[in-house]
Chains A and B, each alone.
Chain A
Amino acid sequence: MLEVITMDKWQSYRDRFIQLLIYCLVLLVSAVFVWILFDLIKGGWSHLSWEFLTQSPFDAGRSGGIGPILISTLLILLVALITALPLAWTTAALLAEYVPVTSQFGKTIRFSLQVLAGVPSIVFGLFGNAFFSIYLGLGFSILSGGLTLACMLLPILVSTAEAGLRAVPQSYRLSAAALGMSRTATLIQLLLPAAAPTLAAGLLLGIGRAVAETAALLFTSGYVDRMPDSLLDSGRALALHIFDLAMNVPGGDTPAYASALVLVVLLLCINILAMKLAYGLQRRRIMSL
């Protein structure tokens, strides 16, 4: 009995040491996160104002605001979503509802999307520059930037939508079939609405990805910080604005902090909303069991 106790003692010291270590590491990670947020707020808060959000930038962005940049970001995002959403959702519907999981066709599409998800964003930038800007002749424009982003968003939009459709209970499909609904009607009237929260969560995640993107836009949507006149105009995205202020504009730190704060707050809101949608759905499903 004594032996057992001594062994347990050693093990319990080891257990406590490892627990302490893990707590310390977790504290470190949390502290760094708070440090980053604190730095951004300290550097940018005083510069934030309604004028900053609406005015045009002057003097390479050192003074003035980010009005046209927000508009350009929004336009790039809209182009990306309008292109990517129909493609992604039709692909997801096909993968989830029409092809068996094991079919070669489905596997090929899934593999190609999986690879696409891993492609570095700078490579998307190279491709967008070669294909949209030069081959299709769109130049440095909001349109080519948005289309490049659309390619980037495809994998995440497809995988969330497919997961959402697959989570719809099988009984829905059987009931619809028993009522004599066509498969198209089942998809549009029943499955898509049932999967709507997941679709929305995926959409928000995609928006977050797109707003955060810099490298893919560097050589596609360009640097011009004027208010864009049309989709064929060059427009500078918010993330690119931060990069330019930090790297190429001496004395641009304060507006860069303020822009970074705007971007991070925007992304936090988008991501929290996406989480709420995704987890809210999960909770409801668990409660209805």
Chain B
Amino acid sequence: MLIDTLTRWLLRAGAIVSALVMLLILAFLLIESWPVLDQITPTRFFTDTSWHPMEGAYNLMPMLSGTLLASVGALLLAIPLGIASALFIVFYAPIYFALPYKRLIELLAGIPSVVFGFWGLTTLVPLINQLHPPGASLLAAILVLTLMILPTITLTAYAALNAVPKEYLHGAAALGLSRWGMIYGVVFPAARSGIVAGIILAAGRAIGETMAVLMVAGNVVQHPEGLFDPIRTLAANIALEMAYAMGDHRAVLFVSGLLLMLLVMLLSAMAGKMENNQYA
């Protein structure tokens, strides 16, 4: 029928446009960063003496280390909290607590990053400042990021734990395993790939997070020496300097955007592979 053929073409056109968005983004990041990529050898992003884009010194390393330290710190805190939360919902919670707690986590996922940042700025930073000035620091960034990635880890771990076949649990119970023995010996191995995929996704979110970190991290370009030193992340750097960047400086910011995107693409490809393995 004519109308069916028309519909099919219409749908196909829509889908192709959707898929092209991705390519368009990559293409524009490449075009905008080309002036710099063309002139400068990429090693200069790691070997230049400092980050002084006005004078042509483009060392991205301090910001890369800030990004990675904040993300790793947040993961170290959020993984135990997230897995404990998921275990609580699936195995430990009394029936009338499990669902409300899951809802609470889902609502936590919906709180905007700027609100987390604002709360961190007005509550956490003064608290840390009392402990050890200046307050706006790597620690504040880690704590705020933890709150932001906790829902991702919890909800993916919940889905993975929930998907473990009930026969496994019955079998473990019939063998007389204790509750933790069952969780550690049977449930975790069965749910491992799902939980790890969730952690990788959360790592991607932490690396790309901008506003919350920008508001609490202090934004000094340096390799932090301790938890109380201020840091600047790659994403925060883009948000801070994009407003006045011109020429090569602007192109370098696009390079760092490209770098962020490649990092996150790598992570999401890894997470995708993990999830596929689960069903294999």
- Interface contact A122-B208, CB-CB below 8 Å: yes
Judge whether A268 and B113 touch: CB under 8 Å: no
User: Of residues 209 to 249 in A, which have CB atoms within 8 Å of B's CB atoms?
Assistant: 211-215, 218-219, 239-240, 242-243, 246-247
Does A113 lie within 8 Å of B257, measured CB to CB? Answer: no
Measured CB to CB, the nearest residue on chain A to B11 is A94
Residues of A within 8 A of B242 (CB): 125-126, 129, 218-219
Which B residues from 1 to 26 make CB contacts under 8 A with A?
Answer: 1, 3-4, 6-8, 10-19, 21-25
Contact of A127 (CB < 8 Å), options: B29, B111, B253, B272: B29
CB contacts (< 8 Å) of A208 on chain B: these are: 110
Q: Is the CB of B254 within 8 A of A25?
A: no
Q: How large is the interface on B (under 10, 10 to 19, 20 to 34, 35 or more residues)?
A: 35 or more
Whether A91 contacts B268 in the complex (CB less than 8 A), given A22-B87, A264-B111, A271-B107, comes out as no
**Interface: A60 (CB within 8 A):** no
A-B interface pairs (CB < 8 A), number:
244
CB contacts under 8 Å to B, within A16-66, are 18-19, 21-23, 25-26, 28-30, 32-33, 35-36, 39-40, 43
- CB of B22 within 8 A of CB of A184, answer no
Q: Establish whether residues A108 and B19, one from each chain, have CB atoms under 8 Å apart when the complex forms.
A: yes
The answer to whether A36 and B88 have CB atoms under 8 Å apart is no
User: Would A14 and B204 count as touching, CB distance under 8 A?
Assistant: no
When chains A and B are docked, how far (Å) is the Cα of A21 from the Cα of B257? 40
A36-B25 CB under 8 A given contacts A90-B14, A94-B11, A246-B215: no
Give Cα distance in the complex from A215 to B113, angstroms.
9
Q: Least Cβ distance of B42 to chain A in Å?
A: 19
Distance between Cα atoms of A109 and B15 in the complex (Å): 7
> Which residues of chain A from 139 to 181 have a CB within 8 Å of any chain B CB?
151, 154, 158
For window 93-139 of A, CB contacts with B under 8 Å fall at 93-95, 98, 108-109, 111-127, 129-131, 135
What distance in Å separates the Cβ of B217 from its nearest Cβ neighbour in chain A? 12
Q: Which residues of A contact B40 (CB under 8 A)?
A: none
Q: With A109-B19, A126-B253 known to touch, is A11 a contact of B110 (CB < 8 Å)?
A: no
> Which partner residue on chain A sits nearest B272 by CB separation?
A114
Task: List the interface of chain A (C-beta within 8 A of B).
Answer: 8, 11-12, 14-15, 18-19, 21-23, 25-26, 28-30, 32-33, 35-36, 39-40, 43, 86-91, 93-95, 98, 108-109, 111-127, 129-131, 135, 151, 154, 158, 182-184, 187, 208, 211-215, 218-219, 239-240, 242-243, 246-247, 253, 256-257, 260, 263-264, 267-268, 270-272, 275
Q: List 29 A-B contacts (CB under 8 A).
A: A15-B179, A29-B85, A33-B108, A39-B123, A94-B14, A98-B12, A109-B18, A113-B18, A115-B22, A118-B204, A119-B264, A123-B208, A126-B32, A129-B242, A130-B29, A158-B18, A182-B3, A184-B3, A184-B6, A187-B7, A208-B110, A214-B114, A215-B235, A242-B115, A246-B118, A264-B112, A264-B115, A270-B110, A275-B103
Given pairs A15-B179, A29-B85, A272-B107, 16 additional interface contacts (CB within 8 A): A11-B178, A22-B88, A26-B84, A33-B104, A33-B107, A36-B115, A111-B272, A119-B208, A122-B260, A126-B242, A184-B4, A214-B211, A263-B115, A264-B111, A270-B110, A271-B110
